[in-house]
Amino acid sequence: MSTTAVERPVAGVVDARRRRAVGLGVLVLLLVVMAAVSLAVGARALTPAEVWHGLFAGPESDRRLNEIRLIMETVRVPRTTLAIVAGIALGVGGALIQGYTRNPIADTGLLGVNAGASFAVVSVIAVFGLSSPFQYAWFGFLGAAVAGVVVFGLASIGRGAGNPLTLALAGQGITVFLAAMTTAVALSDRESLNALRFWNAGSVAGVDFDVIWPITAFVGVGLVLALSTLPALNLLNLGDDVARGLGVNIALSRTVGIAAITLLAGAATTACGPIAFLGLMVAHVARYLTGPDYRWLVPYAGLLGAVVLLFCDIVGRLVVRPGELEAGVVVSLLGAPFFAVLVWRGKFKSA
Amino acid sequence: MNGTGRIERMRGSGTEVKATVAPGVRLGSVSFVWRPWLAFVTLFLAAATFLLFCLSISIGDFPIGLSQVIATLFGGGEQVDEFVIMDLRMPRALAGLVVGIALGVSGALTQSIARNALASPDILGITQGASAVAVFLITVSGGAAATVVSSVGLSAAALAGGLGTGLLVYFLAWRRGIDGFRLILIGISASAMMEAITTWLLVKADIKDVARAQAWLVGSLDNRSWDEVWIALWGTLGLLAVVTCVAFQFKPLHFGDDVAAGLGVRFGVVRAILLLCAVLLAAVAVSAAGPVPFVALVAPQVAMRLARCPTPPLVASGMVGALLLIGSDLIARTALPITVPVGVVTAVIGGPFLVYLLVRANLK
């Protein structure tokens, strides 16, 4: 990245770089706006002044302001925070998965991460009778990690390693297997069936900071790992042989990448339930905006993920009032046609 | 790049090229390549399917000998056995047979046309479309939904849902021809949408209805009646007849768009007909047994490897599908401490088996 006198970039490259940096700024701005809207919109709509008071004012005598503060603290702020954290995690995770598998349709759902988390959550509810998300979230995380590692491990045995189809098939195999086991458990235990159907919809609501902080820590570690692996990922996409020739430690870089993906997707899935499509979708949009350089693509995908998840959560709160549509449902309902349009316009080519 | 690689490989070993030339057989307008190994495998699979079918009927709370089952099936046998076999067990066994064949053939067709092992009805949204309609009818009780269920039945409504989604995917993916990759991507987006709708319906519904819907969603052969079986049977037979007529005249259904264009418009139409048949077969299967997972994905892959064919063989895929489904149902109701829906067993068998195939193929 450094512009020394020896390798001064030509004017076009500088232009492109500036354009991408501006784009990044625009996305950050968009994220801030979305977050503000997310704080203001809900069962009780708040004015910007009320939001401000609720966020920053201390305890006051005014009963109405205290009420607003309570809404902010217990509902809106956790919800908005989780949407941002999970959105970034899923966006970056999606971009990384597509990079490491060289598979344009790769998604965390495809790799069994969601299925692993569901199975673990439902099992511990049925076996131990756990009821709070804080208790079973850890098992969900464990399930996601185990499933992700198993799928990657299976797909990287022998000659077919790195083949997109091998990975997709291994992921599909594990996913369907786990989904069936999950259903079998859920059918025998009404408590876990009930938990499963809510968790399965994918929602950023109703989660406390008790859960959000640890999740954020995991996402943070995942992001650091992800950023550290980006230059190697760029080279890996030139092909394994070229990358090896250029001095990339392929095994190490893959391991770091897998760890990052598992941390990011596992954490997001544990907190919100399976949110399909988000990572897949924003990774494609990011690629469309930035081109194939992962050092730009991944930050774009992360910010886009947060913006889209916030947007979907807000839409879900507005469309079926006084009820709510879960964010995961809205992501699928908006994402699927959007994705279909991209496909139809010939944006994706088979790898 | 790929093309030149292949030419060089061909030059390197001329024997390989010659070995692929097999004798053709022509009967009127029907012609096919005679593969003795494929014929042997198919016959073996058919025999195994028949045996398992009879075994499935003979095992139950009131055990009946295998020879008596076969005797009863061919018109002989005793009165008591006939009642148990024909009225109680036959619908279930027959449903397993028909659904298995339908799913196997459907998977073989979609995988051949899309030229991708992932292209099963589960991926193309057909199963999810059928499920969404069924779950809607189960969870939204009363009113129009109740009228629909009582007049046309849950199965027929699910059939319509699966067919509708399949057609939608086909037309959305059609853009001066059908490209396998585009078909899969559109299919994935359609299935995600249908799944989202299903999930939302489950969230909103009463927990009693949810249990019912969930049981339907995993795929089951419990409590089949002759009425339901007849619909599935005739539907499948009719569709298989069409597939047989069309597929044998146009063997190269797995060729891509470029080759199809070279072979003319008629070839494109034929492929569209076959794809439609695949969608209908899957929809019929789902309407009869629920979205039994994995059979349509695994059966063609297994048949392909058993028969040592480059693409999924249709008949053998159907047989493997039936074996998989009847065998799983047998395990589901006899071998396990608790009775589970057949879909749980197909997934538990199918998932690791698919992984085993992958690992073995990779280690070779």
DSSP, residue by residue, A171-190: HHHHHHHHHHHHHHHHHH-H
The reported pLDDT for the residue numbered B3 is: 36
- A188: which chain B residues are within 8 Å (Cβ-Cβ)? 338
The reported pLDDT for the residue numbered B5 is: 35
**Would the CB atoms of B347 and A336 count as touching at under 8 Å?**
no
The share of chain B scoring above pLDDT 90, in percent, equals: 10
| DSSP conformation class of B33 | E
Q: Report which residue type is found at B28.
A: G
The share of chain B scoring above pLDDT 70, in percent, equals: 79
The pLDDT confidence band at residue B34, using thresholds 50, 70 and 90, is low
Q: Give residue-wise pLDDT tens across range B132-173.
A: 988 888 887 666 666 666 666 777 788 888 889 988 888 887
For A294-309, what is the mean pLDDT? Answer: 93
Say whether B151 sits in a helix, a strand or coil: helix
Q: Give residue-wise pLDDT tens across range A16-38.
A: 788 888 888 999 999 999 998 88
Q: Give residue-wise pLDDT tens across range A67-92.
A: 777 778 778 889 999 999 999 999 99
Identify the bridge partners of residue B33 per DSSP, sorted by sequence position: B24
- B184: which chain A residues are within 8 Å (Cβ-Cβ)? 105
Pick A344's closest partner by Cβ from B172, B211, B348.
Answer: B172
Largest CA distance in chain B: 71
Judge whether residue B183 has pLDDT over 70. Answer: yes
Residue B224: partners with Cβ closer than 8 Å, 6 or more residues away? B91, B92, B94, B95, B288
CA distance A224 to chain B (A): 31
The share of chain A scoring above pLDDT 70, in percent, equals: 87
- B204: which chain A residues are within 8 Å (Cβ-Cβ)? 323
Mean pLDDT, chain A, whole residue set:
80
Higher pLDDT, A87 or A105: A87
CA distance A112 to chain B (A): 12
Q: Give residue-wise pLDDT tens across range A42-67.
A: 777 777 777 777 777 666 667 777 77
Give me the residues of A, 73-132, that contact B with CB < 8 A: 105
**Would the CB atoms of B358 and A188 count as touching at under 8 Å?**
no
Residue of B nearest to A182 (CA): B344
CA distance B34 to chain A (A): 31
| DSSP conformation class of B178 | B
Judge whether residue B239 has pLDDT over 60. Answer: yes
Largest CA distance in chain A: 71
- Total residue length of chain B: 364
**Would the CB atoms of A154 and B359 count as touching at under 8 Å?**
yes
Residue of A nearest to B119 (CA): A169
The reported pLDDT for the residue numbered A18 is: 85
Distance CA B119, CA B23 (A): 30
Q: Give residue-wise pLDDT tens across range A237-254.
A: 777 778 888 888 877 888
For B256-275, what is the mean pLDDT? Answer: 70
Give me the residues of A, 188-217, that contact B with CB < 8 A: 188, 190, 193-194, 197-198, 200-202
CA distance B24 to chain A (A): 33
Among A114-123, A194-203, B7-16, B31-40, name the one with the lowest average pLDDT: B7-16
For A189-199, what is the mean pLDDT? Answer: 75
**Would the CB atoms of A201 and B200 count as touching at under 8 Å?**
yes
**Would the CB atoms of A340 and B350 count as touching at under 8 Å?**
no
Helix or strand holding residue A54 (H, E) = helix A48-56
E-strand stretches of chain B: 24-27, 30-33
Answer yes or no: are the C-beta atoms of B100 and B160 closer than 8 Å. no
- A105: which chain B residues are within 8 Å (Cβ-Cβ)? 184-185, 188
Burial class (CB in 10 A: 0-12, 13-18, 19+), B70: middle
Does the CB of A274 have a partner CB in chain B at under 8 Å?
Answer: no
